[in-house]
Chain A
Amino acid sequence: MVVVEFVVSFFLILGAFFALTGSIGLYRMTDFFSRLHGPTKSTTLGVGGMALASAVYFSFQGNGISLHEVLITLFLFITAPVSAHFMAKAARHQRMHENKAALPPGCEKKTGPHV
């Protein structure tokens, strides 16, 4: 089934692309809160694409329709915002957003890993 292989490859590459972009975002952004945005991306479209590819692949293996991949996406949709919220809230309690504003422009990158 060539068509199935194409569809599976398409979703795999799509998922991998968004996961990669999420990691690049994590690396490139300068402050803590902007860095939070990268990983959120890879959980939604990144893992979503890969789960879809898996569902399509195993559905055409002959053992009936495989749908438990939907659960992965469902659980991620529940857990990802909660963990992001926790981290953002913890960072706000440590007042990371205020430290950065107090610095003179140009010094943002030298003050340690968090800021």
Chain B
Amino acid sequence: MPKKPFLSHGRWLPHPLMTLMLIIIWLLLVNTLSFGHIILGTLLGAAIPWFTNRFWPERPWIARPVLLFRFFFGIFLRDILVANLNVVRLILQPDISQLQPGFIAVPLDITDQMVICILASVISLTPGTVSAEVTLDRRVLIVHGLDIPDEKAAVQAIKTRYEVPLKEIFSC
């Protein structure tokens, strides 16, 4: 990772998005929208990223925020609903020996640590699949599926449905 110019980071607000997120979380936490808490939240939102800056040596850049929203609401939440019903059907079916659980190896095109982490989390949160391991060279994600009749189709589904949009969103 090449070192970026000193000031382009924004020295006082190293992570503007994180600051915004922390303010929102703080206001949700206190469950009010009073002026004092907005000030306090802003102070916290400015201070915490500043203190924890060293933990985030590199960060992915959200290149397409609109796409992120579309991914979150259009694909992610919808898949949680649909796949949940699917898994409920699998769990409650009378004969569970028909299930074909197994591991699939998903070759990764993305290289950024953070984005791999997001992809693995999305895979784990959408039911039916749990990401089990990333190989040491970070090229392959090993995923356990509850019912995988066709390995190639499952790998392809994960790649086109989650990886491609994530890659576009974070432009890496």
Interface 0/1 of A41-68, CB less than 8 Å to B:
1001100000000000000000010111
- Is there contact, CB below 8 Å, between B96 and A28? yes
Interface residues in B55-107 (C-beta closer than 8 Å to A): 80-81, 84, 87-88, 91-92, 96, 99, 101, 103
A99 at interface by CB-CB < 8 Å: no
- Is there contact, CB below 8 Å, between A70 and B144? no
B25 at interface by CB-CB < 8 Å: yes
Interface residues in A20-57 (C-beta closer than 8 Å to B): 21, 24-25, 28-31, 33-34, 36-38, 40-41, 44-45
- Is there contact, CB below 8 Å, between A25 and B84? no
Interface residues in A65-115 (C-beta closer than 8 Å to B): 66-68, 70-71, 74, 77-78, 80-82, 84-85, 88-89, 91-92, 97
Q: How many residues of B contact A (CB 8 A)?
A: 32
Interface 0/1 of B1-44, CB less than 8 Å to A:
00000000000000000000000010011111000000000000
Q: Which residue from A30, A41, A89 sits with its C-beta under 8 Å from B84?
A: A41
- Is there contact, CB below 8 Å, between A81 and B91? no
CB-CB under 8 A from A40, the residues of chain B are 124-125, 127, 130
* A24: nearest chain-B partner, CB-CB: B91
CB of A13 to closest CB in B, whole Å = 14
Instruction: Report the Cα distance A41→B39, complex, angstroms.
Output: 38
CB of B120 to closest CB in A, whole Å = 6
- Is there contact, CB below 8 Å, between B133 and A92? yes
Q: Which residue from B31, B81, B124, B142 sits with its C-beta under 8 Å from A81?
A: B124
A11 at interface by CB-CB < 8 Å: no
- Is there contact, CB below 8 Å, between A81 and B144? no
- Is there contact, CB below 8 Å, between B101 and A80? no
Interface, chain A (partner B; CB < 8 A): 18, 21, 24-25, 28-31, 33-34, 36-38, 40-41, 44-45, 64, 66-68, 70-71, 74, 77-78, 80-82, 84-85, 88-89, 91-92, 97
Inter-chain pairs besides A21-B92, A45-B84, 20 sampled, C-beta below 8 Å:
A24-B91, A25-B91, A29-B96, A34-B144, A37-B127, A37-B146, A41-B88, A44-B127, A67-B28, A68-B30, A68-B31, A71-B28, A77-B121, A81-B123, A82-B121, A85-B120, A85-B131, A88-B130, A89-B133, A92-B133
The 7 closest A-B pairs by CB, nearest first: A81-B124, A88-B132, A81-B121, A25-B91, A33-B144, A68-B31, A45-B84
Q: List 11 A-B contacts (CB under 8 A).
A: A21-B88, A21-B91, A21-B92, A30-B96, A31-B101, A36-B144, A37-B87, A37-B130, A41-B127, A80-B124, A81-B124
